[in-house]
Amino acid sequence: MFRSIAHRLVLVWGWRRCLVAFAAGAASALAMAPIHFLPILFLTFPVLVFLIDGSVAPGRRGLRHLRPAAAIGWWFGFGYFLAGLYWIGDAFLAEGNAALLPLMPLAVIALPAGLALFPMLGVLAARMIWPDGPTRILALALGLGSSEWLRGHIFTGFPWNLFGQAVTFTDVTAQAAAVAGVYGLTFAVIAVCAAPALMGDEDRGQILLRRFLLTLAVLAVGADVSFGLYRLSHAAPTGKSTIENIRVRIVQPNIDQSQKWSPEFRQGTLDKLIALSDSRTDPETLGAVSFRQIIWPETALPFFLTEEPEALGRIAELLQPGTVLVTGAPRIDRSEDGRHFYNSVYLIDDRGNILDAYDKIHLVPFGEYLPLESLAKRLGLSDLFKGIGGFSAGPTRNLIAPPGLPSFVAVICYEAIFSGEVLDASMSKRPDYLLNVTNDGWFGNTAGPYQHLDQVRLRAIEEGLPVLRAANTGISAIIDAYGRIVAQIPTGTEGVLDGLVPSEHPDSPFTRRPLAFQLSFVAFSIILLVLGRRKRMKGS
């Protein structure tokens, strides 16, 4: 039966082939949050293999004969990104700004169409080295895995929903990120999930190699689960390893995005944040006095804090001696070359003094800044993009060390999706934890906030550091260094999350050699591809 399906998929042609590729890509998005149905990839990647098999004409060369493979890769990617990133359209409705509505199709359709160029390049690369034997699944992993790495780095990068992120469906399977990182996992996930395609092969000339690769795929799954179980068995139970007496309160105000930046709601926003920060949630909690640190989300204050002494005064009244507030807020810097605006995190003490700050480095294109803004002005497109951009990037990532409290590195919203970039090598020491402030209110109760949370969990595992996460509308969470969620506030909910800072920092090989697994996988795959080709040539 499996061979019959494989044979039909190999022979499918024309628009039907594009439709099958699109459907396979769209179905692959089910492996991501909030569905987390990883087994779907064991069906969709073999379909991709069979479609590429059908695009290969033996003995024929030239760019013209690469077009079928290019179409397969693009339609697969378009389906994947359209299904996985549909929620981006909500951002154009969040503030009720009619001027942004013309850009909605650009995000919902054009963005997935543009991102689909990366799987297209990946499939093309695989097609150019495509063998007619079992090792072709490694060719797919090399080509598509490399294009996923490229997607995460070129043009500032957009590594959202990398295929390796599918392992976050359980805490156990996600632990491999401590060794491989999300890009290494992407190579492995593609190869392992494409392996069932080998059961549809009819050629018995390389049966031993086929059995070897199938066995290797099964062993890889077993190794992932075994490593995860072993690693978690040596970890303290979730929430039990903490820094004593360092109680924190994370505030999730759940302020509607359409009201957030309205001048008439400014005072109400501050009132709500202070009221939640000082709320009594149980008989043992006396309000703000019970905590050493209070955390508000990204741009929690919709004004320039340095120009609002009254707001700083109210914050000072809220905080008890020795307590600090960490909050997101825009920052303005007036200099000789003009005004510059930053998306920042502030550290404020009980006297209302700003002790430290961090300016966001990795900005969101078409959200916080407009790429090629000068070109848009010359082409007369400024009005179309009116209201987009305005922020400048900060100079560097810095360690923030509140007096007498654990140190942290702030990671603002979008920055959390970049593997290997949440820490700076120039830092004098590692932080005690990562602080992730975000405003996922742009995306409502869609898949977006859940996918973002999964990426934050992977950063915790990769770096071996716990994460405190404050989100405007959710999902706020305390995450330990194994990526396990200690506590959380659901999306679309107003409330506070009280807890202690997780203290356990497990060994993470990824922090020492982030490229080791990726390079090893690539080298191993190339060796098998070469050996498989030589064996094929000898047998012919």
Pairing type for strands 338-348 and 399-400 reads unpaired
- Which residue in 360, 415, 421, 462 is the catalytic one? 360
- Contact status, residue 324 vs residue 350, Cβ threshold 8 Å: yes
End-to-end CA distance of the chain, in Å?
28
Q: Where are the beta strands (DSSP E) in 175-318?
A: 242-252, 293-295
CB 206 within 8 A of CB 529: no
Q: Concatenated DSSP letters for 18-37?
A: HHHHHHHHHHHGGGSTTT--
Q: Name the nearest CA neighbour of 481 among 171, 258, 35, 42.
A: 171
> For residues 79 and 22, is the Cβ–Cβ distance under 8 A?
yes
360 noted as active-site residue: yes
How far from 519 is each of 13, 76, 119, CA to CA, in Å? 36, 26, 20
List of residues 6+ apart from 436 with CB closer than 8 A: 410, 411, 412, 413, 416, 456, 467, 468, 469, 470
Q: Which residues contact 396 (CB under 8 A, 6 or more apart)?
A: 361, 424, 426
Interatomic CA distance for residues 145 and 179, integer angstroms:
17
Using CA atoms, how far residue 387 sits from 103, 360, 369, 373, 439, in Å, is 11, 19, 10, 12, 18
Select from 413, 290, 279 the least CA-distant residue to 345.
413
CA-closest candidate to residue 144, choices 25, 267, 58, 239? 25
- Select from 91, 103, 87 the least CA-distant residue to 386: 103
Q: Closest Cα to residue 168, out of 495, 483, 510, 540?
A: 483
* Strand duo 467-471 + 433-438: pairing: parallel
Q: How far apart are CA 68 and CA 51, in angstroms?
A: 9
Residue of 95, 148, 298, 462 with catalytic role:
298
Q: Tell me the backbone φ, ψ of residue 55, rounded to 5 degrees.
A: -90, -5
* Cis amide leading into 154 (omega within 30): no
CA triple 94-89-106, angle to 5 deg: 125
Going by C-alpha positions, the residue among 302, 423, 292 that lies closest to residue 358 is 423
Q: Check if 429 is active-site.
A: no
Q: Per the residue annotation, which of 413, 415, 421, 462 is the catalytic one?
A: 413
Gap between the Cα atoms of 295 and 477, Å rounded: 11
Angle between helices 516-539 and 207-233 (to 10 degrees): 160
- Whose tokens are 């405003």? That residue is 439
200: closest CA among 45, 40, 13, 59? 45
Q: Which positions are catalytic? A: 298, 360, 413
